[in-house]
Structure 1
Amino acid sequence: MKLFRNILLAVLALLLVSGLGGYFYMRKKFEPAANQLVITGLPATFNFAWEADKLGPHAALLVPVTLPGCPRTCYLQFDTGAPTSLLYANSLAALRKQYPATAQRLLPQADTVRDFTFTLGQAQVKARRLKAYQHGASELPADSTEHFIIGTLGADIVDGRVLVLDYAHQRFSLSTQLPDSLARRTEFVPLDYASRRLILTAQVQGKSEKLLFDSGTSAFALLTSQETWQQMARPQAPIQTGTGNAMGNTITTYTTATAAALQLNNLTVPLGTVTYVEGTRMMENLLMRFSGMGGMLGNEPFSQRTVVLDLQGERFGVVR
């Protein structure tokens, strides 16, 4: 009996140590590197653009940028699901070929571009170091008005700042403070910015949920687990399937109608649809589990509304 008790205690101790080790490993794994962006000249206000694909007209939210030595307007996909901004090496190579004046500035060294600068509206942005991944178009489109995407603008752009996204008028406004006149017209809920992930707390189906605000999931309202998807789906509603590419990883999406809504205090925002995904990487699934998130909230529920990300006040808001 004593031997059995000792074995049981040893197993419990091992499980406890393994659990703690796994917790700290996951924290370290998902902790982003130091913010490399230095921004001057705020506030910056400008129009953003939508990129369409087979998933719909709002597949990606694009912000226009200008680069030194490049006469063409380029675009970064605004993705708050990415804690760190990054560049596409294939796209940079195409720019260097077409515009030799950019060659020195846009040439990666060991997969990193150093002292990368660009103009964002009225603001100037300098990144000390940005990773350049083998991604993007290797040729410039013949049509100069066509969107040419050179990278991703991540959540590091809003660090310590205020972002107002007016979806109805496609306006992007980044500043250092929130006007009182706008704050009074906004319904706020708590916002957690730990590890540069924008996690808001709101009510869904009468339950308090932690939701990652991910502007990179533009075509969807709420991405969640298959189990939650089944609970939220309208009975007998048709299911729309689609395939996509997430940085080289093929995924399959399943979207259906839902009566569920996002409740921000006194403001109700209908979700319209709910989606689950197959084909995500194991590490992304583990992130969901370790963070306790109920899902990822995309742009679609706010397509005719204005969203406020107040990082100074640690709050997420929707203008009434």
Structure 2
Amino acid sequence: MFFTAFSDTIPNLAQKNVMKIIKKIVLVFVAVFIMASVGGYLYFDRKFTPPENYLKVSGMTKKLPFKWASDEENSYAAMLLPIRIKGIDKTFYMQLDSGSQSTVFYKKSLESIQKKFPKQLNFNESLNEISLVFNLKDMTVSSESFELLDYGNNVDFETPNTENIIGTIGTDLFEKRKVEIDFKNKRISLLEKIDDKGFSIFEFKKRKIIFPMIIDNQKMKLLYDSGTSGYELIVNKEKWILYKSKKDKIKKENGNSWGTVLSVFTAPATKNIEFGNLKLQLSEITYIEGTSELQKMLMKRSGMQGMMGNKLLLNHKLILDCKNEKFKIEN
């Protein structure tokens, strides 16, 4: 009897040990999954979180004329604002890019300016930054720590009226001033106060402008990226196939994102868009190949379903109050 009872406990003990091991393995997998999820969230959160806004802004500017940079395939490749650097009697240009969270300068362009004006520019080589003061007409913008990008071209001082582009103005400036972009008359105003009637709500999340829209009776969140000026609406391939006209010709061109070559596909479309207080007509739609998996993941994690450029607004005025997350479009 004793032998029989003892022998019966052996498989029971083995079974209990196996169950304990399985439970431990499951707990380890759960812990790893939780840690990976938290780590992934923190990683993507850091990727989207902009650096602190160090801009100092005084005054305001009204109806500052801007120019469109163009290339062979695109008449609205970029919106250029004229600026003056303190101590240098020459007009330079910076691209207004609502897709950039910070104002940055192009190191190669500034190095060529420094050769001609060595006392006016002081680089912090160890931090890859520069202390600079510049003017947008009557408004002064300064920072002790503008980031420098290893990008840009040598400034042409010999050819009159050359559009020397030396940097990018980002949405850190939008935190400091209300913005009115009059696309029809090619003027921009950066103001301290605006009339607050007739506004709609948008998200200004980590200095990203995210507009709510309704396209084909579907609600969408679209990133407003003025750096994609020449396009009305950029979506993923699936939505591009869904919204584009079926038989019209597709246009393919090469794009450029900080030196990375992209393939851009644009097709005609005939869809209505409910955007703020207006209904607009979508005439074309675009998707892009060549973006990194990280960029795709960041877009997906943010909840955004596409990007809107300036082309949709060329006959309108866009008014942005980023601090209070309100916008309005006027004819």
Question: Structure 1 length as normaliser, TM-score?
Answer: 0.91
Q: CA deviation at 1:193?
A: 1.3
268 and 82 in structure 1: CA distance in 2 versus 1, 3 angstrom threshold: same
Structure 1 contact 43–176 (Cα < 8 Å) conserved: no
**1:149-175 Cα deviation digits (max 9, x unpaired):** 000000111005310000000110011
Q: CA deviation at 1:211?
A: 0.8
- What is residue 120 of structure 1 aligned with on the other side? 136
- What is residue 310 of structure 1 aligned with on the other side? 321
- What is residue 194 of structure 2 aligned with on the other side? 178
Structure 1 contact 245–251 (Cα < 8 Å) conserved: yes
Residue 38 of structure 1 aligns with an amino acid whose one-letter code is K
SS at match of 1:193: strand
1:19-98 counterparts in 2 under 5 A? Answer: 19-98=37-116
Q: CA separation in 1, counterparts of 2:157 and 2:73?
A: 22
**Gaps in structure 1 of 5+ consecutive residues:** none
SS at match of 1:21: helix
Q: CA separation in 2, counterparts of 1:316 and 1:295?
A: 19
Structure 2 contact 277–328 (Cα < 8 Å) conserved: no
- What is residue 14 of structure 2 aligned with on the other side? none
**1:209-263 Cα deviation digits (max 9, x unpaired):** 1111111101111111111111111111211111122112111100111112321
- What is residue 149 of structure 1 aligned with on the other side? 165
Structure 1 contact 95–140 (Cα < 8 Å) conserved: no
Q: CA deviation at 1:94?
A: 1.6
- What is residue 263 of structure 1 aligned with on the other side? 274
Q: CA separation in 1, counterparts of 2:56 and 2:155?
A: 30
Q: CA deviation at 1:22?
A: 0.8
SS at match of 2:166: strand
SS at match of 1:23: helix
Q: Say which of 232, 236, 257 aligns to 2:243.
A: 232
Q: CA separation in 2, counterparts of 1:253 and 1:70?
A: 39
Residue 87 of structure 1 aligns with an amino acid whose one-letter code is F
SS at match of 1:57: coil
SS at match of 2:206: helix
1:138 to 2:149 alignment? no
- What is residue 299 of structure 2 aligned with on the other side? 288
SS at match of 2:299: helix
Residue 90 of structure 2 aligns with an amino acid whose one-letter code is R
Q: CA deviation at 1:55?
A: 2.9
- Report how many residues are paired: 313
Structure 2 contact 212–219 (Cα < 8 Å) conserved: yes
Q: Say which of 243, 253, 273 aligns to 2:284.
A: 273
Residue 46 of structure 1 aligns with an amino acid whose one-letter code is L
List structure 1 segments (4+ residues) > 4 angstroms apart after TM superposition.
Answer: 1-5, 7-10
Q: CA deviation at 1:9?
A: 6.0
**1:158-217 Cα deviation digits (max 9, x unpaired):** 00531000000011001122125xx44xxx432211211111112122111111111110
Q: CA separation in 2, counterparts of 1:149 and 1:265?
A: 33
Structure 1 contact 242–254 (Cα < 8 Å) conserved: yes
1:200 to 2:211 alignment? yes
Q: For the pair shown, which has the larger CA radius of gyration, 1 or 2?
A: 2
Q: CA deviation at 1:146?
A: 1.6
Q: CA separation in 2, counterparts of 1:177 and 1:40?
A: 14
Q: CA separation in 1, counterparts of 2:317 and 2:33?
A: 47
Superposition CA RMSD, Å:
2.1
SS at match of 1:228: helix
Structure 1 contact 50–59 (Cα < 8 Å) conserved: yes
Q: CA deviation at 1:108?
A: 4.4
Structure 1 contact 62–77 (Cα < 8 Å) conserved: yes
Residue 163 of structure 1 aligns with an amino acid whose one-letter code is V
Q: CA deviation at 1:13?
A: 4.8
**1:77-120 Cα deviation digits (max 9, x unpaired):** 00010001111011111212233443xx2534235333210001
SS at match of 1:114: strand
Q: CA deviation at 1:317?
A: 1.9
Deviates most, 110-119 or 120-129 = 110-119
SS at match of 2:111: helix
Residue 93 of structure 1 aligns with an amino acid whose one-letter code is E
Residue 208 of structure 2 aligns with an amino acid whose one-letter code is R
